[in-house]
Structure 1
Amino acid sequence: MQYRELGSSGVEVSEVGFGAWVVGTDWWGDRSDEQAVEMVETALDAGVTYIDTGDVYGHGDSERIVGEAIAGRRDEVTLSTKVGYDFYDNPQAGHGELPKELNEEYLREALSASLDRLDTDYVDVLQLHNANVSEVTPEVRDLLREWKAEGRVRALGWALGPSIGWLAEGDAAVEYDEFDAVQTVFNLFEQEPGRHFIDTIRETGSETSVIARVPHSSGLLNEQVTPDTVLEDGDHRSHRPKEWYEAGWEKVEAIRFLEDPDGVEGARTLSQAAIRWLLAHDEVASVTPTFRDASDIAEWSAASDVPAITDAEYERLEQLYATNFGIDRDDGMDALRTSVDGEDIAEAGLDKRAASY
């Protein structure tokens, strides 16, 4: 496992992180608390030291499980959590979004509750969870800086939703000095707004890092969702339209060359290559795949050490992306490609529906 610095914070994260939304919820399969703890421990043993959880996952259960799993190993872990959703006073309705709350009083209570569940007196990274720009007021930013100065938080991030608000929010995270990272959906098939944030970081000279989530595009790039897969209603990936997967399976065939770089058969799996492509961007500090079992952990944690994406491979992928991987039909994702009202996406030229292909 290799490690990178998160922004200029001095906080070190493993290139492959553990997305702890998979524990404490049943959105990615049922597992007992004991099995969930074992998963976290297995990841730590594999060098996956960056653990990314959130208070809303399982209404605190994910944090509680993570806290149990890292007991006695806190100094090995770069621990991140998220706050901003008021699940204390609101029931979860399926996968629907809960009301957000970012006033100072609520945030103070939320952080204290998270620290209690995690059984620690500080977190290495605190992220605002899907906060809109208007919600991150000067008072909120002052509070975040206060926590950082006190040592309750070592680094700050802004985690973006796939359709709850992301373009203006990510740009703000890059602009505001106190944020060390912006977390976003980013993968070979869904490159915006990740590419946009990386371009902005480079153009402005910002030291903000990107944390990439959903690196396998909801099961396509790790081939856990194939034409023979039946997604149950409770499976989080079932929110994707069937057209998305049908187009995606064709795209997968177009990138098979990544499995055997320079003719070295079996040098990396497709799922490892998907992670390596993200890590080809210096701005990406960590990639957080959704581990479902020990075999996922073994394979994907090893992605940090398999052959890097070559310049020739990267350029070939650029050409494929520019032509939508040769796919000329609707993927059914229009309704999910929004950023608040979608106007900022269109104005930035990032709306794939307006592309020429």
Structure 2
Amino acid sequence: MEFRKLGESDLEVSAITFGAWAAGGWMWGHTERSEAVAAIRAAYDHGMTSIDTAPIYGQGTSEEIVGEAIKDLPRDQVQILTKFGLRWDLNKGEHYFDSQDNEGKDIAIYKYSGKESIIAECENSLKRLGTDYIDLYQIHWADSTTPIDESFEAVAQLIQQGKVRQAGVCNYDVAQMTQAEQAVSLVSNQIPFSMVNRGVEDETVPFCIEQNKSVLAYSPMERGLLTGKITPDYKFQEGDHRANHPHFQPDFLQKTNDFLNKIKPIADEKNASLSQLVLRWTIERPGITIALAGARNAEQAIQNAKAIDVKLSAEELAFISSHVEKLYV
């Protein structure tokens, strides 16, 4: 595995980091706790020592699973990345959307990052994770009802108390990052980035390069779209949010699979899967520090970790990128 520093900090994370959203089950149809734990342990055994989670993933379930998976591992050799700012248990702040929890109960999701809420969320996360500190604490989404400096003064307090090592953001634009920096030094921005979703390269990624902030790319596989395994007639499980997503409609799926067929010979030549090729391309992209990759079982986690073994020449990267550029012209 390759390890990369976040921003100007001394926090190093695995270039391919375990993304634990699906492990929580919520919006992914279901979760099998034992398989999720096995996936995280397998990832760790193959060098993916960094795990990204959030309280909202399964309304605490994902963090609990992470805590169970790492309880016997050396804490200083695991990097826990989690988040704050999405509440399902408190009707306060900016209403985000309505959903159902893993038991089918209706819940309302709110973006709320008031100081007292962040302090409480941190304590709850520490308990679920079974640890006394979080390596990277990130705001999940901007909360329009709370001043940014108030939110990050709370994070700065948690850093002073030793409960958080470093501060990051998710889904922030340049102006929001600049404002947050007034209260605390940020090391990273976790933003959506994939071969079919590159809007962040217009402004946010160049800013992060200039300011030496790391970019954590989430959904680099575009929720499984770029595996090449999802065909236009694919049937999603009940509760899987992808069923109605624009990227998973027949026309888009066909265009994507046509593109993947063009780059598949490179994967075949290296005895690698399309997923591994896509992950390797992602972490070679200018400005991208790490890629988050989810897994529902141990075998998927091991395959994600092995993407680091794929070596791409400058010519091969250019070839793939040229087809990425032409993808939806």
Quick check: TM above 0.5? yes
Does 1:178 find its partner at 2:185? yes
The percent identity for this pair of structures is 29
The one-letter amino acid of 1:184's match is: I
- 8 Å CA contact 1:39, 1:293 repeated in 2: yes
How far apart are 1:25 and its partner, in Å? 2.0
The corresponding residue for 2:88 is: 87
Looking at structure 2, the residues matched to 275 and 107 of structure 1 have their Cα atoms a distance apart, in angstroms, of: 33
The one-letter amino acid of 1:197's match is: T
Match of 1:226, SS state, is coil
Looking at structure 2, the residues matched to 175 and 321 of structure 1 have their Cα atoms a distance apart, in angstroms, of: 37
Q: 118-127 or 289-298, which moves further after superposition?
A: 289-298
How far apart are 1:175 and its partner, in Å? 8.7
- Matched ranges for 1:286-325 at <5 A: 286-308=290-312, 310-323=313-326, 325=327
- Matched ranges for 1:180-195 at <5 A: 180-194=187-201
C-alpha spacing 1:176/1:275, structure 2 compared with 1 (3 Å): farther
TM-score w.r.t. length of structure 1: 0.80
- 8 Å CA contact 2:112, 2:145 repeated in 1: no
The corresponding residue for 2:117 is: 106
Looking at structure 1, the residues matched to 295 and 177 of structure 2 have their Cα atoms a distance apart, in angstroms, of: 25
How far apart are 1:171 and its partner, in Å? 6.6
Identify which of 125, 129, 145 aligns with 2:136: 125
Identify which of 277, 280, 285 aligns with 2:281: 277
Match of 1:98, SS state, is strand
Looking at structure 2, the residues matched to 195 and 278 of structure 1 have their Cα atoms a distance apart, in angstroms, of: 16
- 8 Å CA contact 2:194, 2:219 repeated in 1: yes
TM-score w.r.t. length of structure 2: 0.86
C-alpha spacing 1:272/1:170, structure 2 compared with 1 (3 Å): farther
Looking at structure 2, the residues matched to 182 and 97 of structure 1 have their Cα atoms a distance apart, in angstroms, of: 26
**Bigger RCO (CA 8 Å, 6+ sep):** 2
- 8 Å CA contact 2:41, 2:69 repeated in 1: yes
Looking at structure 2, the residues matched to 179 and 66 of structure 1 have their Cα atoms a distance apart, in angstroms, of: 24
C-alpha spacing 1:318/1:244, structure 2 compared with 1 (3 Å): farther
The one-letter amino acid of 1:37's match is: V
The corresponding residue for 1:151 is: 162
C-alpha spacing 1:51/1:195, structure 2 compared with 1 (3 Å): farther
How far apart are 1:149 and its partner, in Å? 2.8
The corresponding residue for 1:20 is: 20
How far apart are 1:245 and its partner, in Å? 4.6
The corresponding residue for 1:231 is: 236
How far apart are 1:277 and its partner, in Å? 1.4
- 8 Å CA contact 1:2, 1:305 repeated in 2: no
The one-letter amino acid of 2:162's match is: G
Looking at structure 1, the residues matched to 128 and 164 of structure 2 have their Cα atoms a distance apart, in angstroms, of: 16
1:307-346 per-position Cα deviation (integer Å, ceiling 9, x unaligned): 13x33333334443444x2x4xxxxxxxxxxxxxxxxxxx
RMSD after superposition: 2.8
Does 1:196 find its partner at 2:199? no
- 8 Å CA contact 1:2, 1:304 repeated in 2: yes
How far apart are 1:166 and its partner, in Å? 5.2
The one-letter amino acid of 2:308's match is: S
Provide the aligned length of Structure 1 versus Structure 2: 318
Match of 2:80, SS state, is strand
1:263-321 per-position Cα deviation (integer Å, ceiling 9, x unaligned): 9724432111111111113532221122122221121111112113x333333344434
The one-letter amino acid of 1:16's match is: I
Q: Quick check: which one's strand share is greater?
A: 2
1:77-131 per-position Cα deviation (integer Å, ceiling 9, x unaligned): 1001111122223596238861122111111111111111111110001010112
The corresponding residue for 1:115 is: 126
Flag structure 2 segments of 5+ consecutive residues without an equivalent.
Answer: 92-96, 102-106
The corresponding residue for 1:43 is: 43
Flag structure 1 segments of 5+ consecutive residues without an equivalent.
Answer: 328-356
Does 1:250 find its partner at 2:261? no
How far apart are 1:255 and its partner, in Å? 4.1
C-alpha spacing 1:80/1:172, structure 2 compared with 1 (3 Å): same
The one-letter amino acid of 1:281's match is: R
